[in-house]
Amino acid sequence: MPFVHPRFQVVADAFEGFARDEPGYSGQLAVYLDGVPVLDLAVGEHLGPDDVTGVFSCSKGAAGLVMALLVQDGLLDLDDAVAHHWPEFDAAGKGDVTVRQLLSHQAGLTGVEGGFSEDEYIQSELAAAKLAAAAPRWRPGTAHAYHGLTIGVLMEELVRRITGSRLQEVFDQRVRAPHGADFYLGLPDEQDHRYRDVLKPLQPGPPVDVDPFGHLGLAFNSTAGFADAGGAPLDLLDLPNQRRMRRAGISAAGGVASARGMARVYAAASTGLVLEEGGRADALLSQETQLAFAQTQVYGPDLGHGELGAYGVVFMASHPGNDYGSWRVFGHNGANGSIGYADPAYGLAVGYVPARAEANGTASRNGRLSAALRRAALQARTPQG
């Protein structure tokens, strides 16, 4: 049921104002504070409170939780050579690339010339074999560029090598299912009736000329592209609207979720959930693990798009251009303006999902909501006189 804690009413008002200010706006917002739900709302007609939709690179956050669990379990060390777990990776000068570099967009493996087919993303061991043989596009560790799709392939292969299971299976078994969260890396057929298509922006921006052989073009598979069921070229924003892709749940961009599901997963990971029968479940991730993954690894101009970027291990790091939380925040946004994260400094776990694709960044809707939530969280933790 929709609800708002009184101390978060100002955030609810701002969120509901999006629908008042823009005809046709629809979206979801869900928030936990210290493991307790304090806000759960859906506005507009396209996304109801129990619907799910594509959340694009928020999927990287789900996959990042799996990687964090492997580190916490002692099965993976961030300073291991990738080739220690994946011997074929020791090719074309990549023998010294560390897991830390690989998972913070520093490895120079944004893509391959000729691109990847959809089958290679869905059966990512095929794409992984190509990346293992490839030469890095820059000297690893000297620069970074967003590995928009390949970071999912790289994570999936590491998980296969270490556990013998698919990353999607580990996420479902250890994160999603135990907490009853609507955040899927691979939407089951029996849940597909709940899926609502991602809608395109009403006013798309000007066309961008991307060099298909540049870092950005390689990162988004420009030389191969994606196709719909009839073989026609597919816009990236339509990716989860293809049943095949959302069923596969590629861990870079194929996740499907509700805002409630994302907030619940991040609350379980960061603070633990307060139980209905009383008490609190332990957080999935220790404070040490949370800090290791939230710690900024790179900050500066991205070789692909030229704008400032900052990353922890897998997760986005907060910075002035994308100020979504404290130095301890860990989470990820998606190409449609969705975002899911935990901010342990404030005790927050947040999910925001718009029906129609919109911008990211400090001045965007998700950025403004994040700032308002931090203010509300501080006030909620202040004793009332």
User: Cα–Cα distance between 325 and 374 in angstroms, integer?
Assistant: 8
From first CA to last CA, the distance across the chain in angstroms is 31
Token readout for 215 is: 């870092």
Token readout for 314 is: 């897998």
Annotate 17-55 with b (16+ C-beta within 10 A) or e (fewer): ebeeeeeebbbbbbbbbbbebbbbbbbbebbeeebbbbb
Mean pLDDT of 125-151: 97
> How many angstroms from the chain centroid is the CA of residue 156?
14
Is 252 in contact with 59 (CB distance < 8 Å)? Answer: yes
Q: Taking the alpha carbons of 239, 242, 245, 248 in that order, is the dihedral positive or negative?
A: positive
Lowest mean pLDDT among 1-5, 56-60, 177-181: 1-5
Rama region for 22: left / alpha / beta (φ>0; ψ in -120 to 50; rest): beta
pTM score above 0.75: yes
Q: Which fold has domain 50-201+209-347?
A: Beta-lactamase (3.40.710)
108 phi, psi to nearest 5 deg:
75, 30
Reported as a single tens digit per residue, the pLDDT across 255-283 is 999 999 999 999 999 999 998 878 889 99
Name the nearest CA neighbour of 27 among 375, 274, 338. 338
Strand-by-strand arrangement of the 339-343 sheet: 3-4, 36-43, 27-33, 348-354, 339-343, 330-333
- pLDDT reading at 306 higher than 80: yes
Lowest mean pLDDT among 226-230, 237-241, 340-344: 226-230
| Cβ-based neighbours of 29, under 8 Å, separated by 6 or more | 11, 12, 15, 39, 40, 41, 42, 259, 350, 351, 352, 369
Token readout for 199 is: 């809608």
Q: Where are the domains of the chain?
A: 50-201+209-347
